[in-house]
Structure 1
């Protein structure tokens, strides 16, 4: 082949320091937003006690954040067009920091819920727009580095949150789980100011906005998330509040559907889900979100309630899943270029399923060290699945729709977490009762073994009443362990059932460059 017929290879200028500062700002903002989803989990009992909230009321401290964030994430693309990227992120950073201070200073439940909702609304824009910064500020050859940095922060945030929250609560005060955002927010504002150019406001877009879709998105997703989170505790449709919220959610989704039909530029393009590949990715990332958030909740609960760990020790066990993320980050950009997406995502999902299956062998004697191997496996699986699926999601749509795809992708991941937490509450309530009855039925009062056991316990504990209380506690403990086993089996089977969707993914060209959402 002559030199004249050789294909032209495009050349790109290298990113300057300001561009990398902007990328660092995006990653820092995404880390702050994802970390604050779970940072209160370890400190929740302490917070509830100090602000006078019951266990049921205290769940709103977590739910308020999740509901607000899941509404805002799909809106971030439209908000970016109206306000401009720098203005949007500066406003989000300042508001997030301000609401964090409100949470840290809270002395009542309404004050805390208001602060957490404000954190969620402002933090929800920090996650997908971090991908926008990488797409707009870095040339294609350097985007893999920024993408890996972003992917690592999103994966690490939910894992580090419980550990950091537990450490601050044990060594300082729960207030610092929120006050820590003040220096982080200040650094974020400086990085954004230096790293991003100013863009003019597009107020004309307000008149053209899909207001039906915006209202429907808020009512639909907000109502659905609350119903999922609170349904089991409120006995589902026996509660008037759940019935009202369910109706609100249905009305919201009806408005959202109407907006899809009437608006030329709907606020969120649900039509993307009709694409075979993108629909498969949305389903897979929802499942990945279920495993990530579900196991991050179940394992600490098991260690605290069964193994006698404190919140910090339980969080440290979950932190094992962060090791593969840190180990793979330097190599992920090259691996994404070389490894077929179907193979990578399939491997990631298989590792996530195997890690959940490995935890079905737990017992009341299981300690935190037993989870170390499965947590490392899950970390590798999460990194393979999420890093490659991000690429596949953007490749499945036209470049001008990449921002909409990013919003749907991140919403699906968070919705998976919400579904997991709701499902865990349902399974725990139903299966603990079932396993307790089955254990009781297996203990015959006429059995010589049972009689001997009870006589020995009565002698050791100073009376038959104490022996019966001990037996009841043992039954409840074993029933709870069996329930946790059920939960890990369910997560395993969900991943296995949806794994064939990997075959619908279209491979990236071997050695092809990475693409980014924007």
Structure 2
């Protein structure tokens, strides 16, 4: 009896072996449905990023808040949204991909439903902060499932689906939000995600296989990485989002966010280099294709954001367009992506095609569009931008999908979560960086042009009292011309970034071929 008890005690004390992940299922309609569900969830998260900016007037009126207070929901959302991208892949491995993705989608939808019922601005801040955390967890899941489940010969089409989150989603979010605000009501700006999330949950739950829990990973959890990396990313993103409004380094808050965030980020990177189970595997940057993809992705997304923001700001300031009236500019780029992305993927799936040449052509088309737009004048209206936006239709997918190929081709499956974390965090941070650059440089150039115009007009003399109305008209003309010149400068800067990225292509990336199934072993 004692022997049996001792054996039972020893058996209970023995460590439980880690569960072995099940074999990958064959790709078919069920798994494809799960992938579409993750894609829909990721696109829904992208639609929700900047909705509070479009509906700001209505939200301010409903909650009785000022303009400055109204800018914080977007900044807080973006901060946690980007930070979540760095740590979500670890959670998907630990809690299982299907379980974690469904949980994030449900939390995201529930918080979106609650936002219009916020009784005060503080509650809205909290809801948007948590919603950003849930929303930022979704795009990394899309890249993870594409790399893990898609067969090699169609994997590039999964990457094209992921590219929708960089080209289609951001362009579609603003028009939809403007439509709800003008014709339905501002609460729908937040509620638009709920039905889409429910559909995606059903598709994910039915289509994706269930992996076992791996809670033993908490024994080697990277606490230092979490406690340094998460606040670092949040602080830096908020600084970029609020920098222009608070006058950058003239604000103590911005200085504290940039200084503290930069120091924590440095500590995070040092820790990640040596930790046995890091969130970022920095050693992967030694691969030329991977490091080139991250650098170019950051620059490309800055340009993409500029292409959306610059004409919208010009039309609003010079022509008095409402958000819904500028929506066709975004839609003319967003909707054709549903055809342009798979078409580009099909071209890149041909072995004779070098993706580096496709990347160069795409960057050249995007940069040329910006260079031509720099000839903007005060007479331009929405229709003048249409032809320039047409260049973006093929240029954007040709600039994104090759980067995904370069970053993921030949990637071992075990490194998929690390690649997803680094790639998506770069993607999210680049959007915040683009906001900071466009707003910061735009403010500086507008002030410069205003001062130059006033100096040149100073010799005309001040009109007398009978011409008092001329002063108002003159001030409006100066402001209009300053906006036009600023838009031109920003377009030239975007073009310079695009052409500059082309110069990296002969230096960094190496030739790769589209993924193919492994040849069967010979008997």
TM-score by length of 2: 0.89
After superposition, give the CA deviation of every residue in 1:143-168 in whole Å (9 maximum; x if it has no partner): 34433333235421101101000001
Structure 1 residue 197 and structure 2 residue 209: aligned? yes
- The 8 Å contact of residues 26 and 131 in structure 1, kept in 2 or not, is answered as no
Q: Runs of 4 or more off by more than 6 Å in structure 1? A: none
Alignment-derived partner of residue 486 in structure 2: 483
Counterparts of 1:60 and 1:514, CA distance in 2: 48
- The 8 Å contact of residues 156 and 345 in structure 2, kept in 1 or not, is answered as yes
- The 8 Å contact of residues 337 and 513 in structure 1, kept in 2 or not, is answered as no
Alignment-derived partner of residue 97 in structure 2: 85
Counterparts of 1:349 and 1:500, CA distance in 2: 10
Counterparts of 2:517 and 2:108, CA distance in 1: 31
Counterparts of 2:274 and 2:406, CA distance in 1: 29
Candidates 354, 363, 372, aligned match of 1:340? 354
Candidates 188, 195, 199, aligned match of 1:183? 195
Q: CA deviation at 1:103?
A: 1.7
Q: Structure 1 stretch 338-347 or stretch 196-205: which is displaced more?
A: 196-205
Counterparts of 2:40 and 2:428, CA distance in 1: 19
**Alpha carbons of 1:261 and 1:15: their partners in 2 closer, same or farther (altered >3 Å)?**
closer
Alignment-derived partner of residue 3 in structure 1: none
- The 8 Å contact of residues 139 and 165 in structure 2, kept in 1 or not, is answered as no
Alignment-derived partner of residue 449 in structure 2: 435
Alignment-derived partner of residue 501 in structure 1: 504
Q: Structure 1 stretch 349-358 or stretch 142-151: which is displaced more?
A: 142-151
**Alpha carbons of 1:61 and 1:298: their partners in 2 closer, same or farther (altered >3 Å)?**
farther
Q: CA deviation at 1:323?
A: 4.3
Counterparts of 2:395 and 2:441, CA distance in 1: 25
Q: CA deviation at 1:337?
A: 1.4
Structure 1 residue 21 and structure 2 residue 3: aligned? no
Q: Specify the SS of the correspondent of 1:473.
A: helix
* Structure 2 residue ranges without an equivalent (≥5): 1-23, 519-523
Q: How does 1:457-472 map to 2 (within 5 A)?
A: 463-472=466-475
Q: How does 1:349-428 map to 2 (within 5 A)?
A: 349-395=363-409, 397-428=411-442
Alignment-derived partner of residue 107 in structure 2: 95
Q: How does 1:274-285 map to 2 (within 5 A)?
A: 274-285=286-297
Q: Structure 1 stretch 367-376 or stretch 136-145: which is displaced more?
A: 136-145
After superposition, give the CA deviation of every residue in 1:94-123 in whole Å (9 maximum; x if it has no partner): 110111012232343222222222221111
**Alpha carbons of 1:278 and 1:137: their partners in 2 closer, same or farther (altered >3 Å)?**
closer
Q: How does 1:134-213 map to 2 (within 5 A)?
A: 134-213=146-225
Q: Structure 1 stretch 271-280 or stretch 182-191: which is displaced more?
A: 271-280
Q: Specify the SS of the correspondent of 1:40.
A: helix
Q: Specify the SS of the correspondent of 1:15.
A: coil
**Alpha carbons of 1:444 and 1:124: their partners in 2 closer, same or farther (altered >3 Å)?**
closer
Alignment-derived partner of residue 4 in structure 1: none
Counterparts of 1:282 and 1:153, CA distance in 2: 16
- The 8 Å contact of residues 353 and 495 in structure 1, kept in 2 or not, is answered as yes
Counterparts of 2:155 and 2:409, CA distance in 1: 15
Counterparts of 2:172 and 2:505, CA distance in 1: 29
Q: Specify the SS of the correspondent of 1:24.
A: helix
Structure 1 residue 474 and structure 2 residue 501: aligned? no
**Alpha carbons of 1:237 and 1:331: their partners in 2 closer, same or farther (altered >3 Å)?**
closer
Alignment-derived partner of residue 254 in structure 2: 242
Q: CA deviation at 1:356?
A: 1.0
Candidates 262, 275, 279, aligned match of 1:267? 279
Q: CA deviation at 1:237?
A: 3.1
After superposition, give the CA deviation of every residue in 1:317-353 in whole Å (9 maximum; x if it has no partner): 1211124412324423321112211101111111111
* Structure 1 residue ranges without an equivalent (≥5): 1-11
- The 8 Å contact of residues 143 and 514 in structure 1, kept in 2 or not, is answered as no
Candidates 131, 139, 147, aligned match of 1:119? 131
**Alpha carbons of 1:107 and 1:481: their partners in 2 closer, same or farther (altered >3 Å)?**
farther
After superposition, give the CA deviation of every residue in 1:197-228 in whole Å (9 maximum; x if it has no partner): 22222221112011111222112211111122
Structure 1 residue 302 and structure 2 residue 306: aligned? no
After superposition, give the CA deviation of every residue in 1:343-387 in whole Å (9 maximum; x if it has no partner): 011111111111111110111211011111111212211111111
Q: CA deviation at 1:287?
A: 0.7
The root-mean-square deviation of aligned C-alpha atoms, in Å, is: 2.2
Q: Specify the SS of the correspondent of 1:365.
A: coil
- The 8 Å contact of residues 324 and 376 in structure 1, kept in 2 or not, is answered as no
Counterparts of 2:346 and 2:121, CA distance in 1: 48
Counterparts of 2:313 and 2:118, CA distance in 1: 26
Structure 1 residue 311 and structure 2 residue 311: aligned? no
Alignment-derived partner of residue 492 in structure 1: 495
Q: Specify the SS of the correspondent of 1:366.
A: coil
Candidates 27, 38, 41, aligned match of 2:53? 41
